[in-house]
Amino acid sequence: MSQTIKRNVRGVRRAAAARGTAQKVRKAKAQTGTLVDELMRWLPFTEEQLHRVFLAVILGGAVALAWFVANLAGVPAMAGQQLASLASDAGFEVRRVEVRGVQRMNELKVYERVLGERERAMPLVDIAAVRQDLLKLSWVKDARVSRQLPDSLVVDIVERTPHAVLRKPDRLVLIDAMGHQLEPISAANAKKYLIIEGPGAGRQVETLGRLLDSAPALRPQVAEAEWIGNRRWNLTFKTGQVLALPQGTRESANALVSFARLDGVNRLLGGKVATFDMRAPERIYMRIPGRSEAQTLDAGGAQ
C-alpha cells in the first residue's frame, strides 16, 4: 500500500517570510537606535533628563485637561463661593467703609458708590470694579481701594483741583486746569476764580494757563478770558479794561509780555483806556470812551 507524502511548502514559505520580516525589523531598530543615539549625542541633556521632560509634559497636559473639565463642571466657582461663605462666617466681610482724602467734593457720593459692598464677603469684593466706579465721579482724579482685614474697606481719593469757572449760556461750571468740569457754581462763589467763556474755551484752558504764565505779573490781575472765533483770546482785567491778543501761541505770548512791559513803564491798567488792541504786529491801538479816534503805541513805548 503506497503512501503519499505531502510537503508543507506553504509553511516553509511563511517561515521564510517571517524570518525576512524579522531581519528587516532588526535592521530598522538598529538604524533607529543609531539615529537616536546620534541625536542624543547632540542634545544638551541626558536620556534620563529627556524622560523627565516627557513625563512633565504628560503630567502638565493631564492637569490642564482636569482643570478644563473642572471649569466646565463649575467646580472652581463652587469652591470660591464656599471659601467666601467660610470667610463671611469667620467675620471676614465688609462692615466698615473708611474714606480718605476728600476735602472739596461731597463725601456722600463716595459712600454711595462703595456702600453697596457692605455685608459682602471680603474675597468677593471686586476692588478694581469699585475703583473704576469711583473714577466716574467728576471730582475724582484717582482712587485706591484696599481691604483692611477683617472687615473694612479703605478708599483713598485724589481730588481734582479747581482752577477756573467756565461760563455757559445757562450756568457757571467749576473746572480744573485741564478743563475737566467739576460741578455747577453760583455767581457769588465764582468771583474768586478766573472766568472763561467762548465756544470751545473749555478745551483751551491748558493753553491759556501757559499764556498767562508768560507774564506772571499780570496773571493775578486777569479776571476773565474770552476765546474768540476759536483762534485767539480777549483778556479782561479786574479794572474792567480789555486786552485783545493776536492769534497764535507765540504771537499772543509775545504780545502779552510786551503789554506787561509797557504797563510797568506807562501804568496802562487803571487808566482811561478801555480797550487795548494788540492784534496788529508791534502796535497797540488804545480806545478811550468819548473819543472817536484811537491812539497808537508801538512796542517800544513811543506814541
Q: 268: domain range?
A: 162-298
Helix (H) or strand (E) holding 296: strand 295-298
Number of other CB atoms surrounding residue 284 within 10 Å: 25
pLDDT in tens, 253-287: 999 999 999 999 888 999 999 999 999 988 899 99
Q: Tell me if 27 is assigned to some domain.
A: no
Do 76 and 133 sit in the same domain of this protein? no
Sheet holding 162-167, edge to edge: 181-184, 172-176, 162-167, 194-197, 222-228, 232-237, 242-244, 275-277, 283-287, 295-298
Q: How far is 102 from 114, CA to CA, in rounded Å? A: 14
Confidence band (pLDDT; 50, 70, 90) for 290? Answer: confident
Q: Tell me if 3 is assigned to some domain.
A: no
For range 74-92, the mean pLDDT: 48
Q: Tell me if 34 is assigned to some domain.
A: no
pTM of the predicted model, to two decimals? 0.65
Do 169 and 152 sit in the same domain of this protein? no
Residue 298: its pLDDT value, please? 62
Identify any residues that bridge with 152 across adjacent strands, giving them in sequence order: 96, 148
Do 96 and 82 sit in the same domain of this protein? no
Question: Of 90, 122, 146, which one is at a domain's C-terminal end?
Answer: 90
Judging by DSSP bridges, how do beta strands 283-287 and 275-277 pair with one another? antiparallel
Residue 12 or residue 252, greater confidence:
252
Do 216 and 288 sit in the same domain of this protein? yes
Do 167 and 290 sit in the same domain of this protein? yes
pLDDT in tens, 3-16: 444 454 455 566 55
Number of other CB atoms surrounding residue 107 within 10 Å: 13
Across all residues in the chain, what is the average pLDDT? 80
Amino acid at residue number 204 = Q
Our measurement of the distance from residue 282's CA atom to the centroid of its chain's CA atoms, rounded to an integer in Å, reads: 44
Do 135 and 155 sit in the same domain of this protein? yes
Question: Of 57, 90, 123, which one is at a domain's C-terminal end?
Answer: 90
- The CATH number covering residue 204 comes to 3.40.50.11690
Question: Of 37, 63, 90, which one is at a domain's C-terminal end?
Answer: 90
Residue 302: its pLDDT value, please? 44
Closest to 119 in 3D by CA, of 89, 142, 148: 89
Q: Tell me if 7 is assigned to some domain.
A: no
Do 180 and 282 sit in the same domain of this protein? yes
> How far apart are the two ends of the chain, measured CA to CA in Å?
159
Do 115 and 188 sit in the same domain of this protein? no
Residue 123: its pLDDT value, please? 77
Given a contact cutoff of 8 angstroms between Cβ atoms, the answer to whether 80 and 123 are in contact is yes
Q: Tell me if 15 is assigned to some domain.
A: no
Do 146 and 182 sit in the same domain of this protein? no
Residue 69: its pLDDT value, please? 59
Do 178 and 151 sit in the same domain of this protein? no
Q: Tell me if 153 is assigned to some domain.
A: yes
For range 148-170, the mean pLDDT: 92
Query: Per-residue pLDDT for 130 more than 80?
Result: yes
Cell 524579522 belongs to 22
Cell 473746572 belongs to 175
Out of 26-30, 51-55, 172-176, the most confident range is 172-176
Q: How far is 131 from 141, CA to CA, in rounded Å? A: 11
pLDDT in tens, 187-196: 999 999 999 9
Q: Tell me if 14 is assigned to some domain.
A: no
Q: Tell me if 86 is assigned to some domain.
A: yes
Do 199 and 284 sit in the same domain of this protein? yes
Q: How far is 246 from 256, CA to CA, in rounded Å? A: 10
- The CATH number covering residue 117 comes to 3.10.20.310
Q: How many domains does the chain have?
A: 3
Do 170 and 270 sit in the same domain of this protein? yes
